[in-house]
Amino acid sequence: METPLYEACREGHVEIVKLLLENDATAVAYKVNLREESVFFAACERGKIDLVKYLLSFPRLLMLDVDMGTSSLHVAASCGNTEIVKEILNARPDFARKRNSQGCTPLHIACSKGQLEITRELTKLDSDLCLIQDYEGRLPLHCAAIKGRINIIDEIISISLESAEMTTFNGETILHLAVKNNQYEVVKYLTENINISKLLNMQDNDGNTILHLATAGKLTTMVIYLLKIGTEVNSLNRKGYTALDVIEADASNSGAIAIVPALLEAGAKRCDQLSPGLIDIQQVPKSFSKRSISVPNRISQDPSPVRRHHHRQNRRRAKKLDLQYDGLRNARETITIVAVLIATVTFAAGINPPGGFSQDTGIAIRGNRAAFKVFLLCNIVALFLSIGVVNVLVSIIPFTRKTMMKLLSVTHKVMWLSTLFMAAAYIAAIWTTMPKEKGIHWVLVELVVFGGGCIIVVFFGLGLMLARHWHNKYRWRKAMQKEVKDRSPGSSVSRVEELKMTKRDQDISSNSDVDSSDHGYHLY
């Protein structure tokens, strides 16, 4: 949807542009292309300053930018066309506050791209532009920190020191963003040149300090530097984890080899090793809910060995539950795929039966044989059972583990029936098409015996595994019941923990598959 005028603007042919505009009787020049870009936008994108100056004499072209997601000033700032930015600001200074689809102003774009001269032009026009947030709460200074633009950071802070202390909607400071994006030089510059000591241990909405983020990202150099400048090593995040907990939760990376000793040398501890005096609930932001600080609060009130044991046990159990949820989702996808394959195979066999059709009547040639009737019956049952399984699985979206288990238990059994009927249909089809000779019949008998034997072996093996699983669940239930009876009022377990244990006992069937499994699987 572009006219030749677009091409002339991109190439900077001023005389051709003038000629086309003079003959533009239908005002085509004031329409945008499929990307919602005007001809003025095309000239700004290519940096054609002479053409931009000429087009600025057409106010209607600038009016098109008002409704555009990305304005001409945005693209000029992104490409580093300082002269074009000056011209647009002289004509329409209000465009400096225009946002794109992400809520970014031209200053956000200039800071992210490292355009120092354009940043100066925009801040000279209006220093309050430094305090405008995008739709994620990020300031232009934050964009510069994410990309590691130290010269831009220095310029913005010299104009608006206040922006260095502002946070995003997720509670992230400029240090959080720099650490998260592994901008070591930015962190070093900020800590050495600006007094941001109160930002070092600030927590985002998830309770993570910059040390939590650095350890989670396996940023060895960053972690060592943060420890050197005195970052608090035992702050608890919203999940109740210290930086040492975070790195030990995923020690598979080689970076953990250097980070763990550095943390230990600085006095880092796991959350269950902290004494009540070391846990300061005031570190948690006021925006946190009561639920978000409940884990560290309970740890500080009850650092007993029993409490620490339950804390470690809960962490292991949470990991097992996550693995089980993944396994259930994968099982659902697998059942769906198998059901679709069975439906495909049985449908093809139904419209192309063994023996084929008569060319004269269109009737199945071997339709009067008993084996053919067995084939047809089994094939139809397998087809519609599989279609039913597919329809159920794509129509029902369970969001609880118990509902998912029930759904998979039913569809799994139906899929087994469908598989057995498909196997029977296959054997019947072979029986139908083979000639009636004595030697051939023995081959068919052997085929049936072999196929049935394989299925029996599979069922027998699964039956043994299921029996073992049920036995483990039975023993686990007995142990839990004994634990409830033996639990005394004078126990060191807190009242809150005791109530939670009671609720867990009442809902014992919903988690027994996970808690009773000691061999890494369970059957449904």
Question: At residue 290, does pLDDT exceed 80?
Answer: no
Question: At residue 371, does pLDDT exceed 90?
Answer: no
Whole-angstrom distance, CA of residue 487 vs CA of residue 501: 10
The pLDDT > 90 percentage for the chain reads 20
The pLDDT > 70 percentage for the chain reads 77
Question: At residue 473, does pLDDT exceed 60?
Answer: yes
Among 82-96, 112-126, 386-400, 441-455, name the one with the lowest average pLDDT.
441-455
Question: Which pLDDT band holds residue 288 (cuts at 50, 70, 90)?
Answer: very low
pTM for this model (two decimals): 0.53
Question: At residue 442, does pLDDT exceed 70?
Answer: no
- pLDDT at position 437 is 61
Return all residues near 55 (Cβ < 8 A) that are at least 6 apart. 9, 17, 39, 40, 43, 61
Question: Which pLDDT band holds residue 408 (cuts at 50, 70, 90)?
Answer: confident
Nearest to 125 by CA among 78, 72, 87: 87
- pLDDT at position 300 is 37
Question: At residue 379, does pLDDT exceed 50?
Answer: yes
417 by Cβ neighbours in 10 Å (0-12 / 13-18 / 19+) ranks as middle
Nearest to 63 by CA among 107, 35, 109, 31: 31
Q: Average pLDDT for residues 13-40, to the nearest whole number?
A: 79
Q: Average pLDDT for residues 195-215, to the nearest whole number?
A: 89
Question: At residue 489, does pLDDT exceed 50?
Answer: no
Whole-angstrom distance, CA of residue 357 vs CA of residue 193: 88
Looking at the DSSP bridge assignments, the partners of residue 364 are 357
- What's the pLDDT tens digit per position in 239-263? 888 888 888 877 666 667 788 888 8
| Residue written as token pair 């791209």 | 113
Question: Which pLDDT band holds residue 120 (cuts at 50, 70, 90)?
Answer: very high
- What's the pLDDT tens digit per position in 40-81? 888 888 888 888 888 888 877 777 776 677 888 998 999 988
Q: Average pLDDT for residues 92-102, to the nearest whole number?
A: 88
Question: At residue 232, does pLDDT exceed 50?
Answer: yes
- What's the pLDDT tens digit per position in 336-368? 888 898 889 888 888 888 878 777 777 777 777
- What's the pLDDT tens digit per position in 315-334? 565 666 666 667 777 777 88
Q: How far is CA 118 from the centre of its chain?
A: 36
Whole-angstrom distance, CA of residue 117 vs CA of residue 89: 14
Q: Average pLDDT for residues 276-284, to the nearest whole number?
A: 45
DSSP 160: -
234 by Cβ neighbours in 10 Å (0-12 / 13-18 / 19+) ranks as buried
Question: At residue 128, does pLDDT exceed 50?
Answer: yes
Whole-angstrom distance, CA of residue 376 vs CA of residue 425: 7
Tokens encoding 183: 């901008």
Question: At residue 114, does pLDDT exceed 60?
Answer: yes
Question: At residue 518, does pLDDT exceed 70?
Answer: no
143 by Cβ neighbours in 10 Å (0-12 / 13-18 / 19+) ranks as buried
